[in-house]
Amino acid sequence: MKRKGKGRRRARDEISRGISRRFFWRPIWNILQRGAGEMSNEEIVEQIQQGVDVTGNQERLWQKNRGFVAWCIKKHVGICDGQDFHDFMQEGFIGLVEAAHSFSNAKGAKFLTYAEYSIRKAVYRYNGLNTCMVRVPEYLKTRMRKLAAFKQEYREAFHREPDSEEILNALHISYRSLCHLEKTIQGMNTRSLDEYISGDGDASLLDMLSSDERIDELAGCSEYQRELHRELEEALSILDDKTALMVRCVYYQGNNYAKTAETFGCSRQAVDERIKKGFYKILRSKHRERLESFMWEGYRMDPRRLSGYADMEEIDDMGSELLL
């Protein structure tokens, strides 16, 4: 019995060592194989920028990242099919190539992190100019869910539909925002009517609508920017004038901290501390929830980043004059 047990243990140990060796070497072997036969995105982009086989490297970059481009389209535009999706993929390719020519890895950022912005910009531009598809930003999706939940609760409590004033008070939005929300919902409900209605496929219902219907507003882009700008301005209004000006100088005008410090005649550290103080004040205010509604679905504030802003509590008590 002892020999039999010892033999089983020996066999089990050999199998365990074999599995360990296999799972230890497999990742290394995969990396070696990938390094031998496949270039990274950054290496392909570097060759494109150096003029080495530009056409071939652009094709390699496309084949390597076409799944990422499709993911960006579904994330920022929504699920679409047929010719629309094919056209969006072409626009995504243009955005990918534009990113390849302007990318710089001096800061150590990954290419795809940088490329998503160019792809999104190209897709939004095409969506706004050339399609009739209704694009619904995440902040509108959130409002739609809140509106549906409020209407259901209101009907159960009062056995009637809420009027406009009651909806405005419940959702904390303006009358113009409510009109845009209802218009977008109406556009989504009639999405099936966007199909071609003639046999030869040369006309759709949207083609027959009058030009004063402002179909472009259904895309949501311009309204999204106006709403976001309005919320940002309201959030900045709770800051002192100099802090608000610094935030606009950095994030609206695209200046770095050194240029902003030169403009305001102070140190770069003073600019950094004042902006952090302003962000922390906004994060503690009612504007945080409103601004977060504009973020993508599933977004949440990183607790580590919030704790970093919390370090500005002492600076907040010191007063603005001590920062400059």
Residue ranges covered by each domain of the chain: 237-323
Helices (H), 190-267: 205-208, 221-236, 241-247, 257-264
pLDDT band for 187, please (50, 70, 90 cuts). Answer: low
User: Of residues 223 and 125, which shows the higher confidence score?
Assistant: 125
The overall average pLDDT reported for the chain is 70
Confidence at residue 52, expressed as pLDDT on a 0 to 100 scale? 87
Q: The domain 237-323 is classified under which CATH number: 3.90.25, 1.10.10, 3.40.1630, 1.20.1300?
A: 1.10.10
Q: Once rounded to an integer, what is the mean pLDDT over residues 162-190?
A: 80
User: Of residues 197 and 148, which shows the higher confidence score?
Assistant: 148
What pLDDT digit, counting tens, does each position of 1-44 carry?
445 555 556 655 554 555 444 444 444 444 444 444 578 888 89
In whole angstroms, give the CA distance from residue 109 to residue 97.
17
User: Is-contact 215 206, C-beta < 8 A?
Assistant: yes
Residue 105: how many other CB atoms lie within 10 Å: 13
The pTM is what?
0.35
Distances (CA, A) of 314 to 216, 238, 309: 48, 18, 11
> Could you report how far apart the first and last alpha carbons of the chain are, in Å?
84
What pLDDT digit, counting tens, does each position of 289-322 carry?
777 776 654 445 555 555 555 454 444 444 433 3
